[in-house]
Structure 1
Amino acid sequence: MEGQQLQQLLNPQRLKSLQEWMQKSSITLTQVNGQRKYGGPPPGWRGPVPGPGCEVFISQIPRDVYEDRLIPLFQSIGTIYEFRLMMNFSGQNRGFAYAKYGDPLTASTAVLTLHHYRLPEGGCLTVRNSTEKRQLRLGDLPTSINQVELLRMLRMMSEGVEEVLLKMAGPKGREFVALVNYSSHYAASMAKKVLVQAFRKQYGISITVKWMSFSKSKHVDETGEDDRFTPPVLNPLPKPSITPPHLHPQPLLHDVPPHPLIQPFFRAAGGPAGLRDETMPRAPVNQDAVSQLQWICELHRLGTPQYEVRFHRTSSDGFLYFNFKVLVPGLLFPLNGVIQILPGTSIQAMKAEVYRAAAEQVIQTMCKVSNLRPF
């Protein structure tokens, strides 16, 4: 009886098409914990493991549509690093999946192109950026602990720890907390399950472990968690003007202000207080904003800026709006904002344009907070 019910749930022709596609394309699918996975990495992958902002969340998938239809569709946007289709015990999909690309802009292009895509089998897909939350907030830490020691302790207790930032928090700044970045959402989830008990057992310390909450404004996605971020010190960057950044000449940072004047920004942002004493040399001429921001961060030993870009919307006049978040490792919080561009001739060209506009806003914000004239 159960076998007959299962046959009624599954479409034999769809299952046959899936098997034929797998044989023809030499695709390997692995069943793991309620999901069927391709790649992670796929055969022949040569790039690094994709970072934040590279994954899209796909929902409203008909229950008898499988990877033979979905993977080629999302590969038409760009090379897929990993594809995960959620499955139930009956062999049906659970109606949602995740596709991870090599960079955030390709993921945003997938959202722009395939959101509301109508499948030939019926059904209209919903595609949006995945949250991929991977940052934990550790509270009630002893004030005597230092960042290097805490990083060592966390790496002994959990996998995938990338960096740790310590700061004072709470209404009166009396609570000592740590923001811990992990290499993946899975690594952060596993750590969240074990850290409280591990600290109590190994060090006799009772701490709290929570997902990092980025804003009081709710923007709920597939995990039911908050995905928007407003920096605790800086106000949100202003929205772009009517003219998109690439339609007018971009000023270059020909002369970065002397170091003593730019220090207020780093103190306000929680960055290192002991910066270099000498006056900063002139920035390299004729380099774009991405190179200039990298140069500033290297000069102050703040680390390499990390960009996260997400497609937001298309305006009626054809401009593409992107939300961006730039994390400078030496600062306690990312800098975020909104930029707009016109569609480019290729994904790589659009990616470069978005990153340039984001870097320029970050430089201007750093100078603005320091009461400086950026150019």
Structure 2
Amino acid sequence: MDFESKYHKSQVNGTIYITTRQVLAKDVQESLDLGAGELFLKYIHKNISPEMIIDIASELGEIYALRYKIDFSGESRGFAYLQYIDKNIKYKALNQLSQKFINKNLDIRVFNSINARELLLERVKAFNPIQVYHEMRKLSPFIMMRVFEHRPQRFFYIFEYQNNEAAASAHRDVRNIIRMFGPQAYISWLDRCHPVSSRYGKSNCCQELDLQLQLPDPSKCNCFRFKGN
């Protein structure tokens, strides 16, 4: 395979990216950028290169992107994310790709990626919700910020990002400056079972507010949201 003509390779912080050089239709590109067909590869030994993974995985179809995670020494952290241009190949890969790796003496396992893209910020004491909105916008663009007042003037902040990669980048950036939100402020991935998760605890009355408006009366609705720009 002529790797250089088919793929572009780059590195940003702890991720090696291998992406297709194909120019895709706009709707296909947008769907893939949202994480369509994403697979999670686990148990990647440090002697397994991104190119080795691409070489085997491409037997099932054209690769859109591989995100190969590395540590500070440049060695594999044991996992990666893979997408095919045809998102429907995901189902074939879930059934066949692990065995293809095993046939090449690579003990890599292939799983469905949940494409986690929500972060939970809590224990913020330094800023009010509108200030939190502006500070978070400086770091990474998000699709929506939802705020739940669980006690008087105590808030949970949920940030929804375009895809897992955008959320992971935001998670790293916020951790680097977390103390600006207060000595006990904490950022984490939003657990699916958390009561404020969009999957299990979305409030029916969650109001969308303009940044110039006052915060709602929590006795009427304890949830409000700001969309990212």
Q: Alignment partner for residue 196 of structure 1, among 178, 181, 187?
A: 178
Equivalent residues of 2:148, 2:224 under 8 A apart: no
SS at match of 1:29: strand
Q: Deviations over 1:78-128 (max 9, x none)?
A: 543321345689997665432134687654542233234344432343111
Q: Alignment partner for residue 151 of structure 1, among 104, 108, 133?
A: 133
Q: How does 1:81-120 map onto structure 2 within 5 Å? A: 81-86=64-69, 96-101=79-84, 106-120=89-103
TM-score (normalizing by structure 1): 0.41
Q: Deviations over 1:262-304 (max 9, x none)?
A: xxxxxx9423378xxxxxxxxxxxxxxxxxxxxxxxxxxxxxx
Q: Kindly state the Cα deviation for residue 164 of structure 1 after the two structures are TM-superposed.
A: 0.5
Runs of 5+ unmatched residues, structure 1:
1-19, 201-205, 215-228, 238-267, 275-329, 333-375
Equivalent residues of 2:6, 2:22 under 8 A apart: no
Q: Kindly state the Cα deviation for residue 231 of structure 1 after the two structures are TM-superposed.
A: 6.6
Q: Alignment partner for residue 104 of structure 2, among 121, 141, 145?
A: 121
Amino acid paired to 1:232: P
Aligned CA distance change for structure 1 residues 191 and 36 (closer, same or farther; 3 Å): closer
The residue that corresponds to 2:211 in the other structure is none
Q: Alignment partner for residue 186 of structure 1, among 168, 171, 187?
A: 168
Tell me how far apart the structure 2 counterparts of residues 52 and 331 of structure 1 sit (CA, whole Å).
Answer: 26
Q: How does 1:144-293 map onto structure 2 within 5 Å? A: 145-146=128-129, 150-156=132-138, 158-169=139-150, 173-174=151-152, 175-183=154-162, 184-199=166-181, 208-214=185-191, 229-230=192-193, 232=195, 269-272=202-205
Q: Alignment partner for residue 37 of structure 1, among 17, 34, 48?
A: 17
Q: Kindly state the Cα deviation for residue 155 of structure 1 after the two structures are TM-superposed.
A: 0.6
Tell me how far apart the structure 2 counterparts of residues 97 and 233 of structure 1 sit (CA, whole Å).
Answer: 28
Aligned CA distance change for structure 1 residues 77 and 208 (closer, same or farther; 3 Å): farther
Aligned length: 200
Q: Kindly state the Cα deviation for residue 167 of structure 1 after the two structures are TM-superposed.
A: 0.7
Aligned CA distance change for structure 1 residues 189 and 89 (closer, same or farther; 3 Å): closer
Tell me how far apart the structure 2 counterparts of residues 27 and 186 of structure 1 sit (CA, whole Å).
Answer: 23
Aligned CA distance change for structure 1 residues 56 and 140 (closer, same or farther; 3 Å): same
Amino acid paired to 2:203: G
Larger Rg: 1
Amino acid paired to 1:196: I
Aligned CA distance change for structure 1 residues 232 and 77 (closer, same or farther; 3 Å): farther
Tell me how far apart the structure 2 counterparts of residues 38 and 210 of structure 1 sit (CA, whole Å).
Answer: 29
Q: Alignment partner for residue 56 of structure 2, among 66, 70, 73?
A: 73
User: RMSD of aligned C-alpha atoms?
Assistant: 4.3
Amino acid paired to 1:161: F
Aligned CA distance change for structure 1 residues 94 and 191 (closer, same or farther; 3 Å): closer
Aligned CA distance change for structure 1 residues 113 and 207 (closer, same or farther; 3 Å): same
Amino acid paired to 2:104: E
SS at match of 1:193: helix
Aligned CA distance change for structure 1 residues 61 and 78 (closer, same or farther; 3 Å): same
Amino acid paired to 1:50: D
In terms of fraction of residues, the more helix-rich structure is: 1
Runs of 5+ unmatched residues, structure 2:
208-222
Q: Kindly state the Cα deviation for residue 165 of structure 1 after the two structures are TM-superposed.
A: 0.4
Q: Deviations over 1:21-66 (max 9, x none)?
A: 435x453333554654211x64413412522464322234465554
Equivalent residues of 1:163, 1:182 under 8 A apart: yes
Amino acid paired to 2:98: H
TM-score (normalizing by structure 2): 0.62
